[in-house]
Structure 1
């Protein structure tokens, strides 16, 4: 499973981006396996899901919005902060099966996804995955609060802190 995580500011500008893979034993080494064209497409897919996030955020009182969108083999989860900053996590169970340039091809079958194993990361629609993503988002939110409380941080500016990046990576290894 490969992940693309981004934080979107109040002006729909990206504040932070990170890609990583599954770190669970027997499932991966923590390296994202996105195809070459996925770098730009992941950004596009996540920003396209912002409209759905803005619709869903008014229908619930929770900050964690769960899965808000799917596109081909990608699942997008969202978390909204009190300041309307959006945490977006794109999950792709098998990036090698995702052909961004070929829209006529059918999505991979559930049978091919089941062959990847019964681990948590192999099924992006399971309740266990939802809980893992909720835990990841909660831990990143705590790190985010510490980051924005820094008096030298400007609102809606890119986060370049290596400490923050390290905390996001540690949360990804722990939960995803």
Structure 2
């Protein structure tokens, strides 16, 4: 990330991603949650924390099935629940990155979808690759215990910057 990306202005009020919800969860071995972040532009989510956790945990079973059928780390959209979709990325060490966001059904239900952004598969893949790269950096830290909760503020900052670049269009 260069200095201009870090100091870039926030999204304008009419930004299409303003009304989008993004919740990232990282699950370690044994499906233990090791990181969670609300990456929405507006921090007031229209989904409760418990519902987002339920949807993400429900998607773990699907990831476990798909990971053995695919040679790709990016598994695309793996699950949907009401107006939300979950995309997944699984590392070779079976660490699972899941991103919850509003889906196409939500767009068709709202009257003015000009203020709504649905990330492309390429943007989702790029976002997950940045998350994976930053996760590897955390793993290389000798003070980090694998499968432990990630509390690094630098990791959190880099994830939010990646979301701003790839998810908030």
Return the TM-score normalized by structure 2.
0.81
The equivalent position to 1:138 in structure 2, one of 122, 129, 133, is: 129
- Runs of 5+ unmatched residues, structure 1: 22-29, 95-106
Secondary structure of 2:36's counterpart equals strand
- Within a 5 Å distance, the mapping from 1:20-169 to structure 2 comes to 20-21=39-40, 30-35=41-46, 38-92=48-102, 108=106, 110=108, 112=110, 115-117=112-114, 122-123=117-118, 129-169=120-160
**In structure 2, C-alpha distance between the alignment counterparts of 1:51 and 1:159, rounded to whole Å:** 23
* Correspondence for 2:165: 174
* Correspondence for 2:30: 11
Whether the 8 Å CA contact 1:2–1:93 is kept in 2: the answer is no
**In structure 2, C-alpha distance between the alignment counterparts of 1:3 and 1:10, rounded to whole Å:** 23
List structure 1 runs of 4+ shifted beyond 6 angstroms. Answer: none
Whether the 8 Å CA contact 1:79–1:86 is kept in 2: the answer is yes
Larger % of helix: which? 2
Whether the 8 Å CA contact 1:3–1:32 is kept in 2: the answer is no
Return the TM-score normalized by structure 1.
0.78
C-alpha displacement of 1:3: 0.4
